[in-house]
């Protein structure tokens, strides 16, 4: 799974979790949904998302790197 797909799956899970927590636990959990939405919105403009940094630390690759590895090419790193 790529970082991009993992980030989408994680955001979807967090929204569903926050809705369930809002319904079953306390109405203020709606703020978790607001936080997830605001983070996705700012990430669409800035490209910065803390969850994607964590996913890369755990070894997930970007779509670009996965495509290059399927072609037998090495990804260019900034190190």
Identify whether 79 is part of a domain: no
The answer to whether residue 78 sits within a structural domain is: no
pTM for the structure as a whole: 0.78
How many structural domains are present in the chain? 1
**Residue 54 structural domain:** 3-70
pLDDT band at 73 (very low <50, low <70, confident <90, very high): low
Side-chain-side CA neighbours of residue 70 (13 Å):
7
Asked whether residue 58 is domain-assigned, the answer is yes
The answer to whether residue 24 is domain-embedded is yes
**Structural domain contains residue 77:** no
Burial per residue of 22-51, b for 16 or more beta-carbon CB atoms within 10 angstroms, e otherwise: beeeeeebeebbeebeebbeebeeeeebeb
75 found inside a domain:
no
pLDDT band at residue 69 under the 50/70/90 scheme? confident
């Amino acid at each position: 799974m790529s970082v991009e797909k993992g980030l989408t799956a994680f955001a979807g899970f967090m929204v569903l979790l926050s809705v369930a927590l809002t319904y079953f636990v306390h109405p203020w959990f709606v703020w978790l949904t607001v936080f997830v939405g605001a983070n996705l919105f700012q990430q669409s403009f800035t490209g910065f998302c803390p969850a994607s940094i964590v996913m890369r630390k755990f070894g997930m690759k970007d779509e670009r790197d996965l495509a290059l590895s399927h072609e037998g090419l090495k990804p260019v790193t900034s190190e």
